[in-house]
Structure 1
Amino acid sequence: MSKRIDLDIVVPLYPLMPYFQDRTRELAEKFTANHPEYRIRVTGVDWLSVPQTIHDAALKGEAPTIAQYFYTSTRDALDARRPDGSPLFTSVERAIAGRTEILGEPVVLGDVEPAARHFYTYDGAVAAMPPLTSTTLLYANTTLLERAGITEVPLTWAGIEAACRAVTALPDGPAHGITWPNHGWWFQQSVAQQGALLADRDNGRSGRAEKLYLDSDAMLAYVEWWRGLHRAGLYRYHPSRVNTEVDWNRNFRAFADQEVAFVLTTSVEAARMAQAGRDGGFVARACRMPYNDRVPYAGNVIGGDALWLASGLDQETEDGALAFMQYLNTPRTAAERHRETGFIPVTGGAIELLEQEGWFGRNPHFRTALDQLAANSGSPAARGALLGEFAAIQNVLTTAMHDVLATDVDPRERFARANAEAQLLLDGYNDAYRGLRPRGPIRVG
């Protein structure tokens, strides 16, 4: 047998979730059993370090064949360069070039759920292949709601406020009605729902984002609603010692212990929330994230990550990498990944397979995220923003929100300052990309 063709893959290591590295290695072994001409080497890197690790490797000419980036680092991946200044990655869709199979593996990129496919579409083509997709959901204690006379879970901001008031008014009701972490994802979601942008140039999708809109009317509408719930004693805040850290488990425990009737968190938590209800003797229902019904609903954005394909590969190496990407998202593999992790089954084939096997009938809480993303309008607002320094910009937002919740600062004034601070971060990133100033460390989150 001739020398094997090496495919090097970097995958993120998430806290308490060793699944992804281990499972990718298992699937690599199965793939190479069918394609013995290839050898796949999987390296796990702390998820916060992936962009910097890839950048450093590229400067040494040691970039991997495939790299898995968190969604907030999409602009970093688009901007990643080799020492000669050429792009480090190439569009997966353009590399597939209309083929329906590669090395005998059916091409499934076009079957990826639209919200995920649209998020990674840039310059007219899908840039990366998403294996992991999530969104934000509302989880409701319907047992507690029914005691308060509420038979339908509200889906609007006004409805949530009214339900929280009814629940906390019960003689033995909880002290608060709802909780969610002060995290940057919520600002993205709520602005997108209202059809508003976080940045110019169609959220950075029709060109590099140059100007931020973090103090927009849509942002302030969300901030004022959140502050109003908090001031009325309806929202339970769990501030951390460092505002950029999020204790997701404290929000989960508040819901599991019935200290609140609602919690907002990731769709990945659907099974855990349902089990918390069974353990606590109440019914926990997964529902779509509440929205501002004073404006048309545009859609919720995704989370998760995607596989990026190195540019400049020889044909055999590129075909092996593309074939493995498709193999990672075959209907059976994507369906099993969903069952094991809670991430959304990312292709239509996987969803159809799960439907046929009765999975969603037995586990309706997993269907909610699909329905929510299916309502996405596909507009630049609903597709989500592509920003340099996105993680640091998120931290600017969460710090500003902490100040709004914890002090008497005026929200409009505080978010105007936050916008100015974030604008400096974006300007610095763009200047570094253009070579006008030294590039700092890449941050994600």
Structure 2
Amino acid sequence: MGSSAADRSPRTVIDVLLSEYPFPGFLEPVRQRAAEFERAHPEYQVVIRGCYYEDLPTQVSTEALAGKPPTIASYYSGASQQAIDTVTADGRPVFTPVAGQIGDRTEILGEPVILDDLVDACRDFYRIGGEIAAVPLTLSTMLLYTNTAMLHAAGIDTVPSTWDELSAACAAVARLDGGPAHAITWPIDGKLFQQAVALQGGLFLDNENGHAARATTVDLTSAEVMAYVEWWRELAQRGQYVYTGKFEDWLGNGAAFAEQRVAFRVDSSFAINFMSGDPAEPHVTVSMLPYNGRTAPAGNWIGGDAMWLADGLDPVTRDGALAFMQYLNSPRNAAEWHKASGSTPVTKGAAAVLETEGWFAAHPVHRVATGQLERTDRSPGSSVPVFPGSHGIQTAIMAAMEDVVVRGADPLARFTRATAEAQKALDHYNATCLGEGPRDPGWLVVGT
């Protein structure tokens, strides 16, 4: 039996390099969607490759300098500026904003365009330089995990929703006879500062937190930063907050909560898949992250990653890549991706599917992150920064907080020093990426 003309024609390859995370089989559902897309569009071959998210910027830069950049690459949200700054051997940007390539089209190769359906918080974060730069694939934010058995034993029936309520609950847990030595834990991690400041609508950077244009100045002594530092310090001084002694120690903090050595833990929404809603853990609940009650909640940290489109593609490859991005985020596919990965739905359509089919009713903890991300006033401060030199800035933040919590440093003086350190890192990054000649390899280090 003879082959059809389509079978004899060479297929257009879409080379997709995606961030890998330490979750078993994380990208397998995406590979399944790629196979489905190929069946619907047999003129294309979608090649899915994985790369650990912290290594991906280096991998893409290496391939781009060799003249073989991927068609699509998914960068961790905190590495968005690195995506923008990745260049070819002749200095041209590797990626182009997806909104400009989509234009006013409502579908591409029959796949409906989902940009207008993105949840507002996601849409706002990836609006960089006036247009949506990338299409989100995964999404997360920070939530509060509570041991309700301890909370009820302390005489509290409602999970705290503000910093003051959480402080009072920690004090009540600390008074329990035979209770835990400490009440709450979270890591010293720059992401939590981003969350806390966004909740208050504050800014770290100029140029609308780096969204309107490349950021050139950083301030770690704003009223919003200092309010968070002072509240955190008070919890530590009262012995209610416990620090494991290691930056970004999510495993250590998770162990403290799982072993019931604390009543509260702050963690990513991704942790829901691993520790909450299980019938064997009826004492664990998940809620929105408490906020500074002196101001209405304004925004949230945005985690996860987004797909960036290579510039200079021929129209056939470009449209195939754009169509695949839309296909991954169709309401049904995005809903299934949420179930498989724990990623918060990136579109309103996906959330509606999960609501309509009863998934959220059966798994209410999974609705929490969606509800929290809807809590945004869409001001510039509600969307966390696009950091140039994120690693250096985050390191300055974490070192300063450790000095305050562990060594009793004066908060304002120490964060004033941290601002100078962060500014030096930002200046060095910008000079590296905007200058002539070889770049300092440090620009590729991902700051979390």
> Is TM (by shorter chain) over 0.5?
yes
Instruction: Give the aligned partner of residue 250 of structure 1.
Output: 252
Choose from 7, 29, 36 the match for 2:35: 29
How far is 1:185 from its partner?
A: 0.5
Q: Which amino acid aligns with 1:262?
A: F
| AA at the equivalent of 1:117 | R
Q: Counterparts of 1:132 and 1:100 in 2: how far apart (Å)?
A: 22
Partner in structure 1 of residue 390 of structure 2: 390
Q: Partners in 1 of 2:166 and 2:144 — Cα distance?
A: 10
Question: Taking structure 1 as the reference length, what is the TM-score of the superposition?
Answer: 0.95
Matches within 5 A, 1:299-378: 299-378=299-378
SS of the residue corresponding to residue 55 of structure 2 reads helix
Instruction: Note the alpha carbon deviations across 1:89-137, whole angstroms, 9 max, x for none.
Output: 1111121112121111121222111111110012221110001000000
Q: Is the 8 A contact 2:329 2:347 kept in 1?
A: yes
Q: Matches of residues 4-403 of structure 1 in structure 2 within 5 Å?
A: 4-20=11-27, 22-240=28-246, 243=247, 246-275=248-277, 278-280=279-281, 282-403=282-403
Q: Kindly indicate whether the alpha-carbon contact (under 8 Å) linking 1:121 and 1:127 is maintained by their aligned counterparts in 2.
A: yes
- What is the rounded CA distance, in whole Å, between the counterparts of 1:18 and 1:401 in structure 2? 35
Offset of residue 233 of structure 1:
0.7
* TM-superposition CA deviations, 1:188-216 (whole Å, max 9, x none): 01111111101111111222111101122
Query: 1:271–1:365: 8 Å Cα contact kept in structure 2?
Result: no
User: TM-score when scaled to structure 2?
Assistant: 0.94
Q: Which amino acid aligns with 1:268?
A: F
Percent of aligned pairs with the same residue?
Answer: 45
Alpha-carbon distance in 1 for matches of 2:103, 2:264: 46
Asked if the contact 1:92–1:128 (Cα under 8 Å) also holds between the matched residues in 2, the reply is yes
Q: 1:388 to 1:18 in 2, by over 3 A?
A: farther
Report the aligned-residue RMSD.
Answer: 1.5
Q: By how many angstroms is 1:158 displaced?
A: 1.0
* Contact residue 299 and residue 373 of structure 1 kept, 8 A: yes
Task: Name 1:416's counterpart in structure 2.
Answer: 416
Q: Which amino acid aligns with 1:161?
A: S
- Please give the secondary structure, in 2, of the residue aligned with 1:370: helix
2:387 aligned partner, one-letter code = L
Q: Is the 8 A contact 1:72 1:391 kept in 2?
A: no
**Cα offset, 1:78, TM superposition:** 1.6
**Contact 2:389 2:430 (C-alpha < 8 Å) held by counterparts:** no
Once residues 150 and 324 of structure 1 are traced to their aligned partners in structure 2, the CA distance between those partners, rounded to angstroms, is 49
Q: Is the 8 A contact 2:174 2:181 kept in 1?
A: yes
Deviations along 1:247-305, one digit per CA (max 9) or x if unpaired, are: 312212222222211110001112323256x435x422211111111233212121110
Question: 2 CA distance for matches of 1:360 and 1:149?
Answer: 29
SS in 2 for 1:32: helix
> Greater shift after overlay, 174-183 or 251-260?
251-260
**8 Å CA contact retained: 2:121, 2:299:** no
Q: Deviations over 1:391-435 (max 9, x none)?
A: 331122112111211112212111111111111110011111221
**Structure 2: gaps (5+ residues):** 1-7
Q: Specify the code of the residue in structure 2 equivalent to 1:279.
A: A
SS of residue in 2 equivalent to 1:145: helix
Would you identify which runs of 4 or more consecutive aligned residues in structure 1 move more than 4 Å?
none
Paired with 1:25 and 1:145, the residues of 2 have a C-alpha distance of 43
What count of residue pairs does the alignment treat as equivalent?
438
